[in-house]
């Protein structure tokens, strides 16, 4: 497998096929005298932006912490939790038990629920 | 039977959803200033959009991935950041052009200045997206958009000579003002090959859960729908060439463009022009705003669908909410909607290769398309049109801005 072509940036879906995000980063472990080993995949704005510029990545992490959106840490999914890798990556994880929807919840609370127009409410099915 | 219905709906969507502020403005100016001489650009752009929409439908049906999804996945964020940022910026400008088009239509109907209409129009666009499902948006836009057939009626009523139309289909050198000729040619191509149209088409196919069973219907709907749509664009150009060109009116305002329908069809024609402009821009505004949300959601892997309640895909709903009001501010401060439209269309032509070339690579990737990869004709036609649009764009835009004509 070509890690950059076949894994990095692919869509990640949880065990209920809900969209969690993209593979924003790959964690490799360096081993003495052996090739590096893939340990985990990472999802998170700070990981993603740090691939464009380190400064941008640090800025995103600080912003997420300061505004109370997330703890600034990306979501890390160990490689043993990966169920299937195709053009989508399916993981044996419940998205609600991670922080991938922290941005979603924050925007819902700060913007969507403040709009006093009917029709925006929840009927179930989306991330809690 | 189901396939025939799907094709029929695709054709209606092609006709009703084809025109927007950009196509109306660029086709009208092309006809008013260069008679039939730019008709070949409409034909070329239509041919290209037929191939592109067929490809986007095929990509969605086979891989269940949209264009924005696939570009991020195959080319990585470092590449994707370029078309993503360019497209988000351009989409807000195009959205301003569409909101401006609706506001101008309301000005034509009521004589109340267009800036006053910007916020009520923005609220109406937003409210429909907030409440409606994807089918309501797409089918409603298509059916109401059939009012744009008024342009075909106007063109027929002017009795254009067939040999003039045929001669216009052959590229010729401009008789005068070459910078303006090429700038309008670029704007025309940009209006026909809008990045938002491409993304919206592929997102729509995923929303409607197309599968490989739909490939034949997709091919017919793309071919017939876009051909009829291109015919409508040509009708605007022909009506303008027959009515405005001989009178020396250069279609530099929407009031002047209104004459291409009101002269052949009388007073009711003028009203129908305003109604057609308003409805078609309203439909396009819905699509561009939705496309902004689709593009963001697919680039970052969010939960997305117009069929979900806003609270279920809050990031998706917040994106179109912010974009609509940002675009409305551009109109409210009184920037001329027509100028905004023409420059947005020209810049479309420059941005479109950054979206189309990755698409071409994806369409030849068996991981995504399996046995349904592109043939050489599709690759050739789309490459040719895209390179032409890009080259014309980088030559003609500076010429126009710095007064080369």
* Spatial CA neighbour of B142 closest among B21, B305, B10, B289: B10
At B211, which CATH number? 1.20.1740.10
Chosen from B82, B312, B325, B361 to mutate, greatest number of chain A CBs within 10 A: B312
Residue contact B318–A113, C-beta within 8 A: no
Q: Flag whether A54 is in a domain.
A: yes
What's the confidence (pLDDT) of residue B165? Answer: 95
Q: Which domain does A51 fall in, by range?
A: 3-114
Q: Is A34 helix (H, G, I), strand (E, B) or coil?
A: strand
* Residue B148 φ/ψ region, left for φ over 0, alpha for ψ in the -120 to 50 degree band, beta for the rest: alpha
Q: Flag whether A128 is in a domain.
A: no
* Total Cβ atoms within 10 A of residue A94: 11
Residues of B in contact with A125 (CB under 8 A): 308, 312
Instruction: Tell me: pLDDT of B220 over 70.
Output: yes
Residue contact B78–A52, C-beta within 8 A: yes
Residue contact B130–A119, C-beta within 8 A: yes
Instruction: Tell me: pLDDT of A73 over 60.
Output: yes
Within the 6-45 window of chain A, which residues sit less than 8 Å (CB to CB) from chain B? 8-12, 18-22, 24, 43
Residues of B in contact with A22 (CB under 8 A): 72-73, 300-301
Decide if B289 contacts B323 (C-beta within 8 A): yes
State the Rg of chain A over Cα: 17
Q: For residue B170, give the DSSP letter.
A: S
Q: Flag whether A21 is in a domain.
A: yes
Residue contact A87–B65, C-beta within 8 A: yes
What's the confidence (pLDDT) of residue A123? Answer: 44
Question: Could you report the per-residue pLDDT of B235-252, keeping only the tens digit for each?
Answer: 999 999 999 999 999 999
Q: Flag whether A59 is in a domain.
A: yes
The average pLDDT across A98-103 equals 91
What's the confidence (pLDDT) of residue A90? Answer: 96
Split into its structural domains, chain A has a count of 1
Q: Flag whether A121 is in a domain.
A: no
Query: CA of A40: how far to CAs of A28, A29, B14, B136, B293, in Å?
Result: 7, 9, 46, 42, 29
Instruction: Tell me: pLDDT of B255 over 90.
Output: yes
Residue contact A51–B73, C-beta within 8 A: no
Residues of A in contact with B65 (CB under 8 A): 11, 87
What's the confidence (pLDDT) of residue B194? Answer: 86
ipTM over 0.85: yes
Q: Which of B69, B76, B303 sits opposite A8 (nearest CB)?
A: B76
Instruction: Tell me: pLDDT of B327 over 90.
Output: yes
Residues of A in contact with B314 (CB under 8 A): 104-105, 107-108, 111-112
At A64, which CATH number? 2.30.30.240
Least confident among B145-159, B242-256, B300-314 = B300-314
What's the confidence (pLDDT) of residue A128? Answer: 56
Q: Which domain does B381 fall in, by range?
A: 2-401
Q: If you measure CA to CA, which chain A residue comes closest to B132?
A: A119
Q: Flag whether A34 is in a domain.
A: yes
Question: Could you report the per-residue pLDDT of B332-355, keeping only the tens digit for each?
Answer: 998 899 988 888 888 888 888 888
Q: Which of A18, A120, A125 sits opposite B310 (nearest CB)?
A: A120
> Using CA atoms, how far apart are residues B78 and A24, in angstroms rounded to an integer?
11
The average pLDDT across A59-65 equals 89
Q: Is A126 helix (H, G, I), strand (E, B) or coil?
A: coil
Q: Is A36 helix (H, G, I), strand (E, B) or coil?
A: strand
> Percentage of chain B surpassing pLDDT 90?
67
Question: Could you report the per-residue pLDDT of B1-32, keeping only the tens digit for each?
Answer: 667 877 887 787 777 778 899 999 999 999 99
Residue B237, both tokens: 């150009």
The average pLDDT across A31-60 equals 92
Decide if B83 contacts B355 (C-beta within 8 A): yes
Q: Which of A11, A19, A108 sits opposite B314 (nearest CB)?
A: A108
Residue B326, both tokens: 């940002």
Nearest CA distance, A35 vs chain B (angstrom): 24
What's the confidence (pLDDT) of residue A122? Answer: 54
Q: Which of A22, A24, A107 sits opposite B315 (nearest CB)?
A: A107
Q: Flag whether A123 is in a domain.
A: no
Kindly tell me the sign of the dihedral angle through the C-alpha atoms of B215, B220, B221, B226.
Answer: positive
CB burial readout B77-91, b (16+ within 10 A) else e: beebbebbebbbebb
Question: Could you report the per-residue pLDDT of B72-122, keeping only the tens digit for each?
Answer: 999 999 999 999 999 999 999 999 999 999 999 999 999 999 999 999 999
Nearest CA distance, A33 vs chain B (angstrom): 30
What's the confidence (pLDDT) of residue B82? Answer: 92
Nearest CA distance, A57 vs chain B (angstrom): 13
Q: Flag whether A22 is in a domain.
A: yes
Instruction: Tell me: pLDDT of A126 over 70.
Output: no
Q: If you measure CA to CA, which chain A residue comes closest to B367?
A: A87
Nearest CA distance, B297 vs chain A (angstrom): 9
Split into its structural domains, chain B has a count of 1
């Amino acid at each position: 497998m070509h890690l950059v072509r076949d894994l990095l940036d692919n869509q990640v879906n949880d065990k209920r096929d809900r969209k969690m995000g993209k593979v924003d980063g790959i964690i490799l472990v360096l081993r003495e005298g052996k090739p590096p080993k893939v340990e985990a995949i990472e999802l998170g704005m700070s990981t993603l932006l740090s691939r464009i510029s380190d400064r941008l990545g640090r800025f995103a992490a600080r912003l997420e912490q300061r505004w109370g959106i997330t703890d600034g840490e990306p979501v890390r999914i160990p490689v043993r939790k990966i169920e299937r890798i195709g053009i989508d990556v399916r993981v044996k994880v419940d998205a609600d038990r991670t922080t991938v929807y922290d941005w979603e919840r924050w925007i819902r609370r700060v913007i969507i629920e403040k709009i006093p127009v009917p029709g925006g409410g929840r009927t179930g099915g989306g991330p809690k | 039977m189901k396939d025939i219905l799907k094709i029929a709906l695709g054709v209606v969507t092609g006709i009703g959803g084809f025109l927007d502020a950009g196509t109306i403005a660029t086709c009208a100016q092309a006809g008013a200033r260069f008679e039939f001489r730019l008709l070949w650009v409409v034909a070329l752009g239509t041919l290209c959009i037929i191939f592109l929409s067929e490809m986007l439908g095929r990509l969605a049906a086979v891989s269940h991935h949209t264009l924005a999804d696939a570009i991020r996945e195959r080319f990585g964020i470092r590449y994707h950041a370029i078309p993503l940022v360019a497209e988000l910026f351009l989409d807000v400008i195009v959205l301003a052009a569409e909101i401006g088009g609706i506001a101008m239509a309301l000005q034509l109907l009521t004589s109340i200045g267009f800036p006053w209409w910007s916020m009520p129009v923005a609220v109406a666009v937003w409210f429909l997206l907030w409440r409606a499902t994807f089918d309501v948006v797409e089918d409603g836009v298509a059916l109401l958009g059939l009012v744009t057939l008024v342009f075909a009626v106007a063109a027929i009523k002017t009795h254009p000579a067939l040999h003039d139309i045929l001669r216009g289909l052959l590229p010729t050198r401009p008789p005068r003002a070459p910078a303006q000729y090429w700038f309008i040619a670029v704007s025309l191509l940009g209006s026909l090959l809008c990045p938002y149209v491409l993304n919206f088409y592929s997102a729509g196919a995923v929303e409607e859960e197309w599968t490989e069973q739909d490939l034949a219907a997709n091919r017919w709907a793309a071919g017939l729908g876009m051909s009829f749509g291109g015919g409508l664009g040509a009708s605007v150009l022909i009506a303008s060439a027959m009515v405005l060109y001989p009178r020396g009116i250069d279609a530099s305002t929407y009031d002047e463009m209104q004459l291409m329908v009101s002269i052949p069809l009388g007073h009711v024609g003028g009203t129908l022009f305003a109604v057609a402009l308003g409805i078609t821009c309203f439909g396009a505004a819905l699509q561009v705003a939705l496309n902004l949300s689709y593009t963001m959601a697919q680039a970052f892997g969010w939960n997305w669908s117009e069929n979900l309640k806003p609270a279920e895909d809050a990031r998706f709903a917040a994106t179109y909410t912010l974009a609509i009001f940002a675009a409305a501010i551009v109109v409210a401060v009184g920037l001329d909607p027509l100028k905004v439209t023409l420059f947005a269309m020209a810049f479309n032509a420059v941005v479109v290769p950054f979206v189309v070339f990755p698409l071409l690579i994806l369409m030849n990737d068996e991981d995504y398309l399996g046995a349904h990869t592109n043939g050489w004709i599709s690759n050739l036609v789309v490459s040719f049109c895209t390179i032409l649009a890009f080259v014309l764009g980088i030559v003609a835009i500076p010429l126009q801005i710095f007064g080369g004509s």
